[in-house]
Amino acid sequence: MKKKTIQDLMKMKETGEKITWITAYDAPFAAFTEQAGIEMILVGDSLGMVDLGYDSTIPVTMDDCISHCKSVRRGAPNTFVVGDMPFGSYQISVEKAVENAVRFLKEGEVDAIKLEGGKSVTKQIRAIREAGILVCGHIGLTPQSSGVLGGHKAQGRTVESARAVIEDALAVQEAGASFLLVEAVPPEVTAFIAKKLTIPVLSIGAGKECDGQLTIFADTIGLFQAFTPKFVKKYCDLAPVIVDAYKQYAKEIKEGVFPGEEHVYHVIGDIAPFEELFKEFE
């Protein structure tokens, strides 16, 4: 598979071919993504909840993200990878935002970065883009500011809220973002944004009338058990399969069934010299 470029993604918007995007946080799942031919990977700060066991994305650090981006790159060398800037890595100052975005490219080997926010982060988007880094905006429900939004709530459901989402979308494009993620916004509003913007607009929980879809891999394959958002479609349910396999493994150890004859390495040749050897140590 040839790695997609931003020009390819722009072309897909023009031709109406939907862009496929999913999260991954490590090499094995990045490899599955590439084998499936999915065009983009997000190393989301959702890794905090999906992989690191936190109950929000807030504690995730730059070092966590860089380490997981490296792992993903090793697993998917030919996939367009987006690194997600964690809370605190771009809000403090524009300089800090550029410095951290540079780290994502130099150390994490990603192709682009994503940051949450609309009008409030246009300075950061402009400066990162001017540093030669592709930026993905993220508007609507922005989990890092869920405290301010009053929880993980859909956005743009009233005319006033839709106005704010549309203004954010326009501001992000104007600041130089190369693509935009819209989260948990009504499909009618997303469709309007996707038509209005020239950059690819992707949805997570924001309907299909746009240029592509993102999902969190652990939701999609039934690995994340804490909760399931309304917009998730489970394509398989791996958690119970894994728990059942582990139970069987434990049972077979207890019962002396595992390991079997086929799982061991026998001595080479006759056993007699080995028995002599054992006697030396008795």
Catalytic machinery residues: 183
Distance, in Å, from the CA atom of 71 to the CA atom of 81, rounded to the nearest integer, reads 11
Smallest gap, in angstroms, from Cβ of residue 81 to ligand KIV?
Answer: 13
Asked if residue 17 lies in contact with residue 59, where contact means CB atoms within 8 angstroms, the answer is no
Residue 203 and residue 252: Cα distance in Å, rounded?
Answer: 45
The answer to whether 210 contacts ligand KIV (rule: CB under 6 A) is no
Query: What's the chain's length in residues?
Result: 282
Question: Please, what is the minimum distance in Å from the beta carbon of residue 234 to ligand KIV?
Answer: 17
Closest residue (Cβ) to ligand KIV?
44
Nearer to ligand KIV, 145 or 248 (CB): 145
Residue 168 phi/psi, 5° resolution? -60, -45
Q: Is 84 in the site for ligand KIV (CB under 6 A)?
A: yes
CB–CB of 231/204 below 8 Å? yes
Give the CA count within 13 Å in the CB-facing half-sphere of 30.
Answer: 23
Handedness of CA 10, 14, 17, 19 (dihedral sign): positive
Instruction: Output Rg (C-alpha) for the chain, integer angstroms.
Output: 23
Q: Closest separation between CB of residue 33 and ligand KIV, Å?
A: 14
Listed ranges 37-45, 99-107, 125-133, 165-173: which one lies at the site for ligand KIV (CB under 6 A): 37-45
Token pair listed for 78: 């030919």
Q: Does 23 bind ligand KIV (CB under 6 A)?
A: yes
45 binds ligand KIV, rule: CB under 6 A: yes
Sole window of 38-46, 75-83, 219-227, 262-270 interacting with ligand KIV (rule: CB under 6 A): 38-46
Longest dimension (CA), the chain: 87
Min dist CB 16 to ligand KIV, Å, is 23
Cα 142–Cα 146–Cα 149 angle in degrees, nearest 5:
95
Per-residue contact string for residues 105-144; x = within reach of ligand KIV by CB under 6 A: --------------------------------------x-
Q: Tell whether residue 64 is a contact of ligand KIV (CB under 6 A).
A: no
Total residues contacting ligand KIV (rule CB under 6 A)?
12
Which residues make up the interface to ligand KIV (CB under 6 A)?
A: 23, 42, 44-46, 84, 143, 181, 183, 204, 214, 216
